[in-house]
Amino acid sequence: MKHWVTSDTHFNHYAVVDKWGNRGEGFEEKILDSIRRNVKKGDVIIHLGDFAWYKHKLWCTKFKEACNGAKLWLIKGNHDRNSNSFFLDGGFDFVADSFMMERHGKRVLFTHKPQPKSDDYDINVHGHLHMTGHRDMEYQDIKHDGQLLIEIETSFEIKSLDKLLQKKIQQMEKG
């Protein structure tokens, strides 16, 4: 069983195409294709929020179909305004504002927005910032080495959580 992570898919949000995301037409299908190619039944997909902008029910169905029977966990983002039960009924197996798990001997906090440094966790896996620079000033005061941004703007690919964590842990140990 593998753990996969993605964030800020913003399905059906065309401002990410035209205005600030520079994703291009058809970005949704590129994301779903990556999931179809990589994720297997029994895997876990952790979505770090901002799932869809519009037509949430349709996108829940398309996302679930693309996920090949994987377990779907959602950390709600600032644009995920539907109830937890809406997302659970839509196919997600777990919905929360945040959660923590231990991986590779580290306490890993999963959130949508980056969190300030804390003794409560070692690594904060988060989305929200998009690699577009549009929120850099807003979060500069809480930036720290324990943060791990998950973004899809550069490749539209779902990412292996364990590979990302191993790389992050190596970076943190080097100082």
pLDDT digits (tens, 9 = 90+) for 111-156: 999 999 999 999 999 999 876 666 777 778 888 999 999 988 778 9
Assess whether pLDDT exceeds 70 at residue 17.
Answer: no
State how far the Cα of 36 lies from the Cα of 40, in Å rounded to an integer. 8
pLDDT for 110 equals 98
Q: What percent of the chain has pLDDT over 70?
A: 90
The enclosing domain of 152 has a CATH number of: 3.60.21.10
Q: What is the mean pLDDT of the chain?
A: 91
Residue 22: per-residue pLDDT: 64
State the total domains in the chain: 1
> Which range among 33-42, 84-93, 144-153 shows the weakest confidence by mean pLDDT?
144-153
DSSP calls for 156-167: ---EEHHHHHHH
102 pLDDT exceeds 60? Answer: yes
Closest CA to 78 of 9, 128, 23: 128
The residue whose two tokens read 């580290």 is 106
Q: What is the mean pLDDT of residues 73-92?
A: 96
Q: What is the mean pLDDT of residues 80-106?
A: 97
Label residue 21 by pLDDT band (50, 70, 90).
Answer: low
Global model pTM greater than 0.95: no
Task: Check whether 87 has a pLDDT greater than 90.
Answer: yes
Burial class (CB in 10 A: 0-12, 13-18, 19+), 106: middle
Concatenate the DSSP letters of all residues of 39-52 into one string: --TT-EEEE-S--B
Q: How many CB atoms lie within 10 A of CB 97?
A: 13
pLDDT over 90, % of the chain? 72
Looking at residue 113, what is its pLDDT?
96
Q: Report which of 50, 46, 43, 45 is spatially closest to residue 13, judged by C-alpha positions.
A: 50
pLDDT at 19 over 70: no
- Can you give the residue range of the structural domain that contains 110? 3-174
Residue 14 confidence (pLDDT): 61
Band (pLDDT 50/70/90 cuts) for residue 16 is low
